[in-house]
Structure 1
C-alpha cells in the first residue's frame, strides 16, 4: 500500500509545483494527490461520478465525465486523473481541449490510450500528457 501512496504523493507534488488551478477527476476514496495540491493552494475542486464523496479540506462535486458540467472546469490549467478507466480518457481529452487545459493521466499498470501521449516524469512516476493547453 505504501507504494501506491508514493505514487499519489509524487503526482500531487508534481502538479502542485507546476499548476495554479487544478481539477482532479475521479477522486474516489483516494485523496492523497488532491490533498497535496490543495495544501499548495492549487486545487479548484475534485469530481467523481458517485455523489456524496467527502474528504476533509477538499471540495468534491458529483459529475459524469461522459456528460460533464463544463462550468465546473472553466479556469483550470490542468485536469488530472489517477488510475481512470481507459474508456474515460477520450472524454477527458475532449474536456481538456474544450477548456484549454493540460490533461495528465496516471494509468493503472500498463494500460494506456492510443500512443500514450507525451510521457512526463513526475519524480519517478510516469504521467501521460494527452493534451497541452495553448498559450
Structure 2
C-alpha cells in the first residue's frame, strides 16, 4: 500500500506541475523519481542527509528554510507531522507555490484544505497559488 500512495502522489505532481519540491522525504524517493522521470524538475529536502539519492536532495529545515531552494510551482509532503504543516503553509505562501500534503492516517490540519482524490489516495491542498 505504501508504494501505491507515493506512486499516486508522484503521478499527480508530475501531471499537474512544472516544478516541485518534496519536503521531509526521509530518503524515500518513489514519488520524486516519478516526478523526475516525467521531466519535471524536482528537489527533495530533509533535515537529514541521504547520500546516494537518485534525485537531487539537500539538507534544509522547512521551519527555518533557505527560501531560494523552494522556488517551484508546488511544495509537497508525504506524511509530515501535523506540527510541521503551519510551517509548510507559511513557506508555500511565501514563495508563491501550491502546497500538497498526504497525511498519515486520518490526521488533518485545521479543516484539511482542499481535498483531491487521486484514485483513492486523498491529498490536501492547503495553499493554491497556481491554476491546474
Q: TM-score, normalised by structure 2?
A: 0.94
Q: For residue 74 of structure 2, what is the aligned residue in structure 1?
A: 78
2:110 paired residue among 109, 114, 135: 114
Query: Post-superposition shift, 1:123?
Result: 2.2
Contact 1:12 1:33 (C-alpha < 8 Å) held by counterparts: yes
Aligned residues: 131
Contact 1:20 1:42 (C-alpha < 8 Å) held by counterparts: yes
Write the deviation string for residues 59-86 of structure 1: whole angstroms up to 9, x where unpaired.
1100001100001012x00000000011
Structure 1 unaligned blocks of 5 or more:
none
Q: For residue 128 of structure 1, what is the aligned residue in structure 2?
A: 124
Contact 2:100 2:123 (C-alpha < 8 Å) held by counterparts: yes
Q: TM-score, normalised by structure 1?
A: 0.92
Structure 2 unaligned blocks of 5 or more:
none
Query: Post-superposition shift, 1:122?
Result: 1.7
Query: Post-superposition shift, 1:53?
Result: 4.2
Query: Post-superposition shift, 1:44?
Result: 2.8
In 2: Cα distance, 1:44 partner to 1:17 partner? 13
Query: Post-superposition shift, 1:30?
Result: 1.3
* C-alpha RMSD of the superposition: 1.2
